[in-house]
Homo-oligomer: A and B are copies of this chain.
Amino acid sequence: MNIKGRNRVVIENVYPEIDCGKYPIKRVVGENVVVEANIFTDGHDSVSAVLLYKQKKEKNWTESPMNFIVNDRWRGEFLIEDLSNYVYCIEGWVDHFKTWLGDIKKKYDARQDISVDLLIGAKEVERAMYKAKGGDRKRLKEYYEIVCDTGNPDAAIELVNEPEFTNLVYRYPDRSLSSRYGKELLVRVDRKKALFSSWYERFPRSCAPDPGKHGTFQDLEALLPEISRMGFDVLYLPPIHPIGKINRKGKNNSVICNPGDPGSPWAIGSDEGGHKSIHPELGTMDDFLHLVKKTQEHGMEIALDLAYQCTPDHPYVKEHPEWFKKRPDGTIQYAENPPKKYQDIYPINFESEQWKELWEELKSIIEFWIDKGVKIFRVDNPHTKAFAFWEWMIEDLRDKYPDTIFLSEAFTRPKVMYKLAKIGFNQSYTYFTWRNTKKEFAEYLTELTKSEVREYFRPNFWPNTPDILPQHLQFDGRQEFLKRLVLASTLSSNYGIYGPAFELCVQQAVSGKEEYYYSEKYEIKHWDWDAPGNLKNFITRINMIRKDNPALQFTNNLHFCKIENDLILSYVKTTGDLSNIILVVVNMDPYHTQSGFVHVPLEKLGIVPDQPFMVHDLIGDAKYIWKGERNYVELNPHILPAHIFRVHGRLKKETDFDYFM
């Protein structure tokens, strides 16, 4: 009988626990981990339980109490304080003192003889006493004598109702027969930027001040002050490596490449080098190092694009033909999605027999750039590379460089996207780009923020990318750009835009597609960044609002508000202590004014129901005094499609009203 037969407490259905504990949950420093479990025992005995947690590298557990919620469900929580992986577990035990506390009162109230029962309780107090030291022990000795005094049950019962007494005994529980949950569950801890980041994507080659010239890292440096002023903190560059010359694509993805066509940066590799080289026209490695440094000085970080694929002239093709698939005619298999062919791209063959060398080389690319000061990588099409590779690679690198962040560019099937997050990606692209109606947003955000997905998948919302100019941005005008910006930046704490196409409201697509017409992917652009109608100041304000309001620096704190108009979406976000409350109202109709009564969840927000409270529109700066749950809103999309209200509630004292003066 290889069983702990006397340990009667059951601990099961622990949440969060991803795929039976195979994958970690994710947190950033400063976030809480809330843990729930079914905890119970046989019979009528009471149970106590603690949540155990520690940094993985530490030896000793810290404990925090677990509390009974309802129906054998218990809950506890702990705070992530350091950039270090944590583990958690649960311990529960039959608590005879707690059982006794509950029983003795009932018996006393029923006027039964409790003298033997007092002696049973006294044993518990005595047990605690022998465990305690110093003042506690002395105090417990006094309590012990009172409980022992069967001639004076009233005094003992008075004690039983005294929290000082009960808490002191609880401090020394008898856990000799406790049960421990069978697994230690991992928390992968990231730095704060993994949860709160504002991305700006820009092609360096389009940064030259002179039209027609190839932009350089130096040209991009000149734009850093403005990008920083706009409030972004991640500057993401499409691939900066030499661009293939064989089968290079021309303008508008044409198979005909005219002289001077620069090709797509995602067609990586030429006689000038591969993934560890820099496209010569952008500058030198020193220029890049300088850019990295300057970007940091402006409070931002460079994110590089990681596209594991090669052009026919990539050095790997010659040096490691075994990493590619060979066709029966001796040529190497190019990428295809029949009947489409991508003859400028050779996919890597993850079934290669030399997979170990391949994996090491791919990892070394990232280490190369980490060494150059890059810590953020936007990974191109990760779902077309072997999952086992990502899992191995990210875990290995994250152990060495815990501040690395990988953003997964996978607009693919949901289970595949979630799998990538489980195996290590810190942020992920999403279906945000194709969600349109209030119902679609409510359903999708509920899945992202209220299901288990919230524990390991961090959305990053992009209204546009060089690959995607969604239909609504093609047809619904400037106000639609404003709307999508507000939605992306307030629904998700991570968001990004592809600029300047976004702030210049570029709307022209390849007919019938969601592709940019004359896409920057295949040519150098000269943007008139200050063109009339540009959204730079609006974006600046939105990013400022995000920086000033910690409620917007989380995603899972989202709560949708009821409103009797299907064309208005409204939601609140708050900090845990309710010191920062943001209420967003968005008119989903790009053409007409919409109005309605938004239901403010007063109780959830800690607002006294019968007192007025102030809402301050952080976009338009207007202030309103509201009262009660239902409050009127009206939005003309041609003026502004959204409110971002800061709610000033909890007005319990008159002096708080000073705020309104």
> Which A residues are closer than 8 A to B by beta carbons?
1, 3-8, 10, 12-13, 19-21, 38, 40, 42-44, 71-72, 94, 102-104, 106-107, 109-110, 112, 116, 119-120, 122-123, 177, 327-329, 331, 336-339, 347, 350-353, 355-356, 359, 383-389, 392, 413-416, 419
B339 touches A388 (CB 8 A): no
Taking A5-B388, A72-B413 as known contacts, 17 extra A-B pairs with beta carbons closer than 8 A to each other, sorted by chain A number, are A1-B359, A3-B388, A5-B359, A6-B350, A10-B387, A13-B415, A40-B415, A42-B350, A71-B415, A72-B415, A106-B338, A112-B339, A116-B327, A116-B329, A116-B331, A119-B329, A177-B351
Q: Are B8 and A337 in contact (CB under 8 A)?
A: no
Closest to A183 in B: B20
Smallest Cβ-Cβ distance to A102: which chain B residue: B338
A255–B19 Cα gap in the complex (Å)? 54
Bound CA–CA A10/B418 (angstroms): 12
**With known contacts A19-B12, A71-B414, A109-B339, A351–B419 Cβ distance under 8 A:** no
Known: A107-B338, A419-B12. A328 touches B1 (CB 8 A): no
A593 to B107, CA, bound (A): 50
Contacts of A413 in B (CB 8 A): 40, 71-72
> Do A416 and B40 touch (CB < 8 A)?
yes
- Cα of A1 to Cα of B356 in the assembled complex, Å: 8
Q: Are A339 and B110 in contact (CB under 8 A)?
A: yes
A548: min CB distance to chain B, Å: 40
Copies in the complex: 2
B415 and A106 contacting across the interface, CB-CB below 8 Å:
no
Residue of B112, B123, B388 touching A8 (CB-CB under 8 A): B388
A382 CA / B222 CA spacing, docked (Å): 76
- Give bound CA distance, A356 to B352, whole Å: 56
Rounded to whole angstroms, the CA-CA distance of A331 and B119 in the bound complex is 13
**A-B residue pairs in contact (CB < 8 Å), sample of 11:** A5-B392, A8-B351, A8-B388, A44-B337, A103-B338, A104-B338, A107-B338, A116-B327, A116-B329, A119-B327, A122-B328
Q: Which residues of B contact A21 (CB under 8 A)?
A: 20
Report the separation of the CA atoms of residues A102 and B116 in the bound assembly, to the nearest whole angstrom.
81
B44 and A5 within 8 A (CB): no
CA distance A619 to B384 in the complex (A): 62
**In the complex, which residues of chain B have a beta carbon less than 8 angstroms from the beta carbon of A351?**
6, 8, 94, 177
- Give A333 Cβ to nearest chain B Cβ, in Å: 9
Residues of B within 8 A of A329 (CB): 116, 119
Contact B328 A119 (CB under 8 A): yes
Q: Which of A21, A350, A359, A385 has most B Cβ within 10 Å?
A: A350
Give Cα distance in the complex from A44 to B383, angstroms.
9
Given contacts A107-B338, A119-B328, contact A356 B42 (CB under 8 A): no
Q: How far is the CB of A109 from chain B (nearest CB, A)?
A: 7
Measured between beta carbons, the chain B residues less than 8 angstroms from A103 are 336, 338
